[in-house]
Amino acid sequence: MKSQHRALPVLGIALVVSLCLYGGVSAPHASGAATWTLPSHPVSFTYWDGGDSTKSTLLRQLIAEYEQLHPNIKINFETDTPSDKVTVALSTGTAPALVEVADWNLPKYVQVRLLDPLPPAAWGRSSVAGVLDQYIPHLLDAAYDGHNLYAIPDQQNAHSLFINNRLFREAGLDPAKDAPKTWDDVARLNKQLTKKQGDRIVQKGFEMRYACPDGHWQAQMFQILLYQAGGTILQGGRPAFNSDAGVKALQVWKSVTVAPQVTQNTCSSPYQDFATEQDAMTFMGPNGGPSIERINPKIKGNYTVAPLPQIRPDHPATLVYAFNWAVYAKAPADERAAAWDLVHFLSSRPLQWWSDIRFVQSRKGWFDTPEAKRDPFLGVYIHDLSIGHPVARTTHYQELQTILSRMIDRVILNNADPKQALDQAVQEYARAAQ
């Protein structure tokens, strides 16, 4: 996907097109922004969400508020929808008007034109550039292609470093002053924070995460380290991660490895080791805080969040990923109009998403409010978002994720040569992407 921005037609043209396509009349937008066209007749559409243990209640509340504002629009909300169900429905023409899509799945849907381009008028803007101006620069790049925007994030995460205050202090460390700034610092702290009872490891300083069999966590962290080392996953659509930067990324990974097999993390509970205080440090997004507090209520108020450690602190980088609202391109026109209007309504409440369930949305401004600043770590989360790169843009992301996971296992678990493992992974991806 390209990241150059160019204005779309002016608002007047957009409204005329909306009138023709959606058969509606001009009406005040739900948010009180500039007018745009909504269907005036009864419209019912279905919304599939991927689900989250914290967000379904908030979504139901906001949808009910929206339906009160627009009595002619009915939303059939369904949660816990697996991503593979969305893929099948989109490809077979049976998808509902509104679906949640992860960043890494956007390229394959956009390429075959299964997603509807966002109408800027729904945001009270005359162009896509005007919509993008409402967000932190570049954080919607993953959803932008061919001068169109195809999705809006319901949550957007960059990993930060979470530190257990008690375990740091027991080791004579200050969680704020001694927070590691580089991965070399993490490796040094691992020696100080790792504990054994006989031959059994009972506490680790830091460990990478290997929780999901599809390689989700390994692929994300490798991309982070690769970006930090100055590399890139793909160049011109071809794999480019077997570079010196790729070697450096794997060397850093190995340097902070303690004992990957000593873990209680699972794909459904990936932060278990930090929550149960086996690991003194971990990486996760801001929504991880409520997750660890549910597992271990005693940890609430007893952790510190610091910027993610870097390879080159003067060139900081991390990875940004999002789960997004997207509209099915083949849904009826009136359903698409109502779906986009709902997306605008839902995404216009970033402070509520933060205060209620700790979901970060990258719209500008809300994080400067007094309410938001009550969280002492919000500045860290926004900083790590601001230095983020999007996940690798490829229609073969699932294959890439699996290949990177196997590569890391060869190097970390089987002590393979990093360069040879990288070269093998590049060949595997090149075959998969043919």
Average pLDDT of 245-259?
A: 98
Average pLDDT of 382-390?
A: 94
Instruction: Tell me: pLDDT of 13 over 80.
Output: no
Which contacts of 192-197 are long-range, i.e. CB under 8 A and separated by 24 or more positions?
193/167, 193/168, 193/280, 193/281, 194/258
Burial class of residue 433 in the structure, from the number of CB atoms within 10 Å of its CB (0-12 exposed, 13-18 middle, 19+ buried):
middle
Average pLDDT of 412-418?
A: 96
Instruction: Tell me: pLDDT of 301 over 90.
Output: yes
> Can you give the pTM of this predicted structure?
0.89
- For 197, the token pair is 């009872």
For 200-302, list the strands marked E by DSSP. 200-206, 234-235, 238-239, 279-284
Q: Which residues contact 340 (CB under 8 A, 6 or more apart)?
A: 116, 118, 119, 122, 327
CA angle 296, 320, 303 (to 5 degrees): 25
Rounded to an integer, what is the distance from CA 417 to the centroid of its chain?
A: 31
- pLDDT band for position 3 (50/70/90)? very low
Domains and CATH numbers, the chain: 11-156+322-389 (3.40.190.10), 160-319+391-432 (3.40.190.10)
| pLDDT at residue number 27 | 40
Share of the chain above pLDDT 90, in %: 88
Share of the chain above pLDDT 70, in %: 92
Question: How are beta strands 98-102 and 43-48 bridged, if at all?
Answer: parallel
Average pLDDT of 395-424?
A: 97
* Residues 169, 297: Cα–Cα separation, whole Å: 19
Instruction: Tell me: pLDDT of 26 over 80.
Output: no
Q: Read off the pLDDT of residues 160-171 as tens digits, 9 standing for 90 and up.
A: 999 999 999 999
Q: Read off the pLDDT of residues 227-242 as tens digits, 9 standing for 90 and up.
A: 999 999 999 999 999 9
Q: Read off the pLDDT of residues 44-60 as tens digits, 9 standing for 90 and up.
A: 999 999 987 679 999 99
Residue 166 neighbours by CB distance under 10 Å: 14
Instruction: Tell me: pLDDT of 90 over 60.
Output: yes
